[in-house]
């Protein structure tokens, strides 16, 4: 397969290129050329989706995978430019397209969010999901019957620039008492970028269509949900078996001003009814279409190994700083919370 990847040098796109190469496909990258050293042996076309699309002119591909589309107008430019000479379009979207997460177990038919001003191009917390939903519609309109939409949950693994998963194995590697939002049996969902990438490439090569939620992993019977306790046990085993987990009450953490999802990743307070289903999205269709998950322990270990290779001065984008964690732990113990 001749495959064009829009983006392809940062995180998921990087793993998509690696998966496509491993499968024997011929890959071309189109991006702004900011990371030319990532795949020096891969053909790279330098341009701008909101400017210069000339490098795409006169070229044909069997499929394109779009990892970098956020604004409908810009997605339309590239989709329309490719429609006549590209067989299939895969758009990487997000589960954030859904209007709300008040109901656990939502599938691909759940309503998506809308914007008061559909013409806005400001990508932020309130607009990110609805803009992605509009991008999906653009792709489906430009490639009728030839479009695949993937809606991942939290994507994790090596090269993750967000630190939202990496914080946990890294924090356990530091040892000591690790502050964690309880209860340990609360469900969590995430998908290893390498599993997502390999599956996406397979679907694109097969010309698959439709819309798929894509997150995991699968947990234990009877409900099949993976839990925070299981994840943090895996992080402790990889990072520092002597570390201990201090499960603090979520309401207490909120009262202490701890920010969910960013300061303590993969945590949504139980009191936030509007988001209670965000980590319980139905992904049965993706699993039926061949999405599989490597052992979480491997994801944790590989992520930790990669994080250890980063510069010591790395500025963390998620997680509690050590001093702040110690402060909250002290307050928890002073309030009589179990150690």
Helix H or strand E encompassing 156: strand 155-156
Look at residue 222 and tell me whether its pLDDT is greater than 70.
no
DSSP string of 84-105, one letter each residue? TTEEEEEEE--GGGBS--SSTT
Average pLDDT over residues 127-145: 97
> By the 8 A CB rule, do 252 and 337 touch?
yes
- For residue 273, give both structure tokens: 């009814």
> By the 8 A CB rule, do 318 and 154 touch?
no
Q: How far apart are CA 315 and CA 166, in angstroms?
A: 13
Q: What is the pLDDT of residues 164-194, one digit of tens each?
A: 999 999 999 999 999 999 999 999 999 999 9
Taking the mean position of all CA atoms in its chain, how far away is CA 313? 24
Q: How confident is the model at residue 221 (pLDDT cuts 50, 70, 90)?
A: low
Q: How far apart are CA 184 and CA 187, in angstroms?
A: 8
Q: How far apart are CA 33 and CA 127, in angstroms?
A: 27
Query: Quick one: what percent of the chain has pLDDT higher than 70?
Result: 99
Query: Quick one: what percent of the chain has pLDDT higher than 90?
Result: 90
Look at residue 241 and tell me whether its pLDDT is greater than 90.
no
Domain with CATH 3.40.50.720 in the chain: 2-158+190-214
Q: What is the pLDDT of residues 266-315, one digit of tens each?
A: 999 988 878 889 999 999 999 999 999 999 999 999 999 999 999 989 99
Q: May I ask the CATH class of domain 2-158+190-214?
A: alpha beta
- For residue 230, give both structure tokens: 């299981």
- Taking every pair of C-alpha atoms in the chain, what is the biggest distance, in angstroms? 69
pLDDT at residue 292 in the model: 96
> By the 8 A CB rule, do 160 and 193 touch?
yes
> By the 8 A CB rule, do 4 and 81 touch?
no
> By the 8 A CB rule, do 173 and 239 touch?
yes
């Amino acid at each position: 397969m001749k495959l064009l990847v829009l983006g392809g040098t940062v995180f998921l796109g990087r793993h998509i290129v690696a998966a496509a190469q491993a499968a024997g496909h011929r890959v071309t990258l189109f991006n702004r050329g900011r990371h030319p050293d990532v795949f020096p042996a891969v053909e790279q076309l330098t341009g701008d989706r909101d400017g210069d699309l000339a490098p795409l002119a006169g070229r044909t591909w069997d499929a394109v995978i779009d990892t970098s589309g956020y604004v409908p107008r810009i997605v339309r430019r590239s989709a329309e430019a490719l429609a006549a000479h590209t067989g299939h379009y895969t758009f990487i979207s997000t589960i954030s397209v859904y209007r709300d997460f008040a109901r656990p177990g939502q599938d691909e038919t759940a309503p998506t969010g809308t914007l008061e001003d559909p013409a806005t191009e400001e990508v932020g917390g309130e607009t990110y999901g609805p803009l992605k939903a509009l991008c999906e519609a653009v792709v489906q309109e430009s490639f009728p019957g030839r479009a695949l939409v993937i809606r991942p949950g939290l994507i994790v693994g090596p090269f993750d620039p967000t630190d939202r998963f990496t914080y946990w194995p890294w924090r356990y590697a530091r040892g000591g008492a690790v502050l964690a939002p309880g209860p340990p049996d609360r469900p969590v969902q995430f998908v290893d970028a390498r599993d997502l990438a390999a599956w996406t490439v397979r679907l694109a090569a097969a010309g698959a269509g439709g819309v798929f939620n894509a997150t995991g992993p699968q947990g234990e019977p009877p409900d099949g949900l993976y839990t925070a306790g299981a994840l943090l046990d895996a992080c402790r085993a990889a990072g520092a078996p002597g570390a201990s987990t201090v499960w603090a009450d979520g309401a207490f953490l909120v009262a202490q001003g701890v920010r969910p999802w960013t300061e303590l990743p993969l945590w949504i307070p139980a009191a936030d009814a509007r988001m209670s289903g965000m980590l319980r999205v139905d992904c049965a269709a993706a699993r039926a279409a061949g999405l599989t998950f490597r052992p979480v322990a491997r994801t944790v270990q590989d992520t930790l190994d990669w994080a250890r290779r980063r510069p010591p001065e790395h500025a963390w984008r998620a997680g509690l700083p050590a001093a702040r964690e110690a402060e909250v732990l002290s307050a928890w113990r002073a309030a009589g919370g179990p150690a």
